[in-house]
Amino acid sequence: MSQGGLHAEDIDTSKPHPARIYDYLLGGKDNYEVDQRAGDELAAAAPEVRIGVRANREFMLRAVRHVTGAGVRQILDIGTGLPTSPNVHEIAKETVPDARVAYVDNDPIVNTHAEALLHRVGGTSSVLADLRDPRGVVDHPEVRRVIDFDEPVALFLVAVVHFLTDAEQPERIVATLRDALPTGSFLVLSHATSDFADRSDAQAVYNQATATLNLRSRARVERFFDGFELVDPGLTQVPFWRPEGTPSERSGEIGIYGGVARKLD
């Protein structure tokens, strides 16, 4: 299988990939030994990482329910990672049966799994593209087939922007995506931080991966929401964004901020 000129032999399994590390930490099976070693090193350096990735995923699913409950019928999920059930489209369609979801990731393995999963699911697409080229994402024909940018869109950037270096101008990238969205759209974003503990050792694990981890402060993460209005409770650690129960012990240690915001004009 190929898309965009990439073939199976182009898949790099010599280095850990963030999506596959994340899958391993969630207990998934779609990863390699190199990803497992990196995940174990990450957990040794940051003992809260496993509860953190679960809390991040639960935040994402609550955010899906929020945006669909607010009337949004389209989701553009960039940096989707390997499919884990329930998926974004499954949660969205519980509230909006005709919801449309475009999944975007730069890992051919993710894309292959997503295409197989979505083969018989209407109103969805799986796109091999890179957040570093935001116009390429927005203009991709498979994104345009599913997403109508004349109607409100929920843009999901969950645990992906922290893989952009400052040199790659992440604020510009997010602003380019924001400017493609009409009024009434949403941004759902989560981002790793070292505000609660020194996580330089965890950060170093990603120096051997296909993307580095770039931890940012709350003030820096808030800048990604420029042009949007954060909904209550604002930017919080992910377990505390509209929890559906009592957050688990050690939730206060989780170094991931999350927020949901609406574009008003």
- Rounded to whole angstroms, how far apart are CA atoms 110 and 127? 10
- CATH code (residue 255): 3.40.50.150
2 occurs within a structural domain? no
172 occurs within a structural domain? yes
DSSP 3-state helix, strand, coil percentages of the chain (rounded to 5)?
Answer: 40, 15, 45
6 occurs within a structural domain? no
* DSSP state letter for 104: E
Domain count, the chain: 1
Which of 4, 216, 233 is closest to 104 using CA atoms?
A: 4
More confident residue, 111 or 253: 253
* DSSP state letter for 3: B
Task: Kindly indicate the confidence band of residue 207, based on its pLDDT and cuts at 50, 70 and 90.
Answer: very high
Q: Is the separation of the CB atoms in 127 and 142 below 8 Å?
A: yes
101 occurs within a structural domain? yes
Q: Is the separation of the CB atoms in 65 and 91 below 8 Å?
A: yes
Cα 55 → chain centroid? 13
pLDDT in tens, 218-254: 999 999 999 999 999 999 999 999 999 888 888 999 9
145 occurs within a structural domain? yes
- Rounded to whole angstroms, how far apart are CA atoms 8 and 235? 39
What is the domain range of residue 139?
Answer: 12-242+251-263
1 occurs within a structural domain? no
Q: Out of 3-17, 20-34, 44-58, 125-139, which region has the weakest mean confidence (pLDDT)?
A: 3-17
pLDDT in tens, 116-171: 776 667 788 889 999 999 999 999 999 999 999 999 999 999 999 999 999 999 99
